Amino acid sequence: MAILDLNAELGAEVVSKLGHRARFVETDVTSSDSIAKAVESTAEWARQTGHELGGVVTAAGIATAEKVRRVRVLSMKHGIHSP
Protein backbone atom coordinates (compact mmCIF):
# COMPACT_ATOMS: atom_id res chain seq x y z
CA MET A 1 0.00 0.00 0.00
CA ALA A 2 1.30 3.41 -0.90
CA ILE A 3 0.12 6.44 1.00
CA LEU A 4 0.44 9.70 -0.93
CA ASP A 5 0.10 12.97 0.96
CA LEU A 6 1.88 16.23 1.70
CA ASN A 7 2.34 15.60 5.42
CA ALA A 8 5.53 13.53 5.65
CA GLU A 9 5.43 13.37 9.46
CA LEU A 10 1.95 11.86 9.60
CA GLY A 11 2.72 9.66 6.60
CA ALA A 12 5.73 8.16 8.39
CA GLU A 13 3.60 7.60 11.47
CA VAL A 14 0.95 5.71 9.49
CA VAL A 15 3.56 3.58 7.71
CA SER A 16 5.17 2.70 11.05
CA LYS A 17 1.81 1.33 12.20
CA LEU A 18 1.10 -0.56 8.96
CA GLY A 19 4.51 -2.19 8.64
CA HIS A 20 6.67 -3.29 5.71
CA ARG A 21 3.79 -3.61 3.24
CA ALA A 22 3.19 0.15 3.32
CA ARG A 23 5.13 3.06 1.92
CA PHE A 24 4.71 6.82 2.15
CA VAL A 25 5.37 9.10 -0.81
CA GLU A 26 5.22 12.85 -0.26
CA THR A 27 2.85 14.07 -2.97
CA ASP A 28 1.04 17.27 -3.88
CA VAL A 29 -2.24 16.04 -5.36
CA THR A 30 -2.81 19.45 -6.97
CA SER A 31 0.28 18.88 -9.17
CA SER A 32 0.14 16.46 -12.09
CA ASP A 33 3.94 16.17 -12.07
CA SER A 34 3.97 15.30 -8.37
CA ILE A 35 1.27 12.65 -8.87
CA ALA A 36 3.10 11.15 -11.86
CA LYS A 37 6.34 10.90 -9.86
CA ALA A 38 4.48 9.30 -6.94
CA VAL A 39 2.85 6.72 -9.20
CA GLU A 40 6.19 5.89 -10.85
CA SER A 41 7.86 5.61 -7.45
CA THR A 42 5.08 3.38 -6.13
CA ALA A 43 5.19 1.09 -9.17
CA GLU A 44 8.97 0.74 -8.83
CA TRP A 45 8.62 -0.03 -5.10
CA ALA A 46 6.03 -2.71 -5.93
CA ARG A 47 8.34 -4.28 -8.52
CA GLN A 48 11.29 -4.28 -6.12
CA THR A 49 9.39 -5.70 -3.16
CA GLY A 50 6.99 -8.01 -4.98
CA HIS A 51 4.02 -6.35 -3.27
CA GLU A 52 0.91 -6.18 -5.43
CA LEU A 53 -0.96 -2.98 -6.03
CA GLY A 54 -4.57 -3.87 -5.37
CA GLY A 55 -6.40 -0.63 -6.03
CA VAL A 56 -6.56 3.09 -5.61
CA VAL A 57 -8.47 5.11 -3.03
CA THR A 58 -8.71 8.78 -3.85
CA ALA A 59 -9.55 10.69 -0.71
CA ALA A 60 -7.70 14.01 -0.80
CA GLY A 61 -10.06 16.56 0.69
CA ILE A 62 -13.01 14.17 0.51
CA ALA A 63 -15.42 14.49 3.41
CA THR A 64 -17.61 11.49 2.58
CA ALA A 65 -16.68 8.04 1.35
CA GLU A 66 -17.31 7.12 -2.27
CA LYS A 67 -17.49 3.69 -3.86
CA VAL A 68 -14.14 2.68 -5.35
CA ARG A 69 -13.94 0.49 -8.44
CA ARG A 70 -11.91 -2.64 -7.84
CA VAL A 71 -8.92 -3.33 -10.07
CA ARG A 72 -6.85 -6.43 -10.57
CA VAL A 73 -3.10 -6.47 -11.13
CA LEU A 74 -2.10 -9.13 -13.64
CA SER A 75 1.58 -8.32 -13.57
CA MET A 76 3.71 -5.31 -12.83
CA LYS A 77 5.47 -6.05 -16.14
CA HIS A 78 2.19 -5.42 -17.94
CA GLY A 79 0.75 -2.66 -15.76
CA ILE A 80 -2.56 -2.37 -13.98
CA HIS A 81 -5.62 -3.87 -15.65
CA SER A 82 -9.29 -3.57 -14.81
CA PRO A 83 -11.36 -6.77 -14.51
Is residue 62's pLDDT more than 70?
A: no
Q: Quote the pLDDT of residue 2.
A: 87
- What CA–CA distances, in Å, run from 29 to 2, 4, 42, 75, 82? 14, 8, 15, 26, 23
**Is 0.75 surpassed by the pTM of this model?**
no
- 3 forms bridges with which residues in the sheet? 24
Amino acid making up residue 64: T
Per-residue model confidence as pLDDT tens digits over 29-46: 888 899 899 999 999 998
Q: Quote the pLDDT of residue 3.
A: 87
46 contacts: CB under 8 Å, gap ≥ 6: 52, 53, 76
CB 40 within 8 A of CB 49: no
Arithmetic mean of pLDDT, 54-59: 70
